[in-house]
Amino acid sequence: MSDTHLCRICIPSPSNIENICEVNQLSYIAQWFIFFCLPFIFAFGLRGGLLLSCQVAGYAGEEQLGEALDGSDIVIIPAGVPRKPGMTRDDLFKINAVIVKSLRTAIAKYCPNALVNMISNPVNSTIPIAAEVFKNAGTFDERKLFGVTTLDVVRAKTFYAGKVKVPVAEVNVPVVGGHAGITILPLFSQEGGTEVVEAKAGKGSATLSMAYAGAVFADACLKGLNGVPDIVECSFVQSSITDLPFFASKVRLGKNGLEEVFGLGPLSDYEQQGLESLKPELKASIEKGVEFANQN
């Protein structure tokens, strides 16, 4: 990172309207001067229709992807398709895994030192895919690969704040495990409210923007890169705090990306049971990603 705090962010997602929302959010909340590289159609719309405190450049097609990625400090990947009614996780995996692997190969070539923020689902599998691609390219650095689980945290905080009637800004609910279904484990007891866990009972969640959550995590990465101390967020990363190779928990971000992975801390009986219950599914998702990366 340069002393001028000029941060280059690439969002290589040719068909995802979330790009516009995320760039708009990040341009307002970030303290740094940002240069965005986006697919041309989105860049054109942003430059022509939104007031942004950043520079925006567009690229057209796969032939310009290397130019867009070159020199990026952060690459945000929301690429792929969202899960639609009737679509199984296998359906989602088959589409997004191919896209993710292709983009990771380009990242390994053109900006191997960038922090990579993975939004494309299923994150429980796409992060292991990315790790294997980087390992095969000789560019893997566990400090620079993040599964963005911020939306789970935002939802948990919003739910808890509404339940106990306090401002969301005053709430801190770590969310650990993975980023799908049963693998998502909010640690409400660490905010002092185990009754909220039973009240939730796996139902309902705040309907909040993935673009906003992605922007929040990207801003945290920017703060870390620029030397702001004590930046802590939850993320799905390579981890040794459980017997699984990847796990979401609180992490500290710094100038080199991931600086510390925090342990789980004390768990309630309910949460301990949830932790043991999520492990088989999360393990299977991780193994599926690794197998895909090495067979395709």
Active site residues: 179
CA-to-CA separations, 238 to 82, 89, 102, 249, 284, in angstroms, rounded = 24, 22, 21, 10, 16
Closest CA to 286 of 130, 176, 59: 130
Beta bridge partners of 115: 74
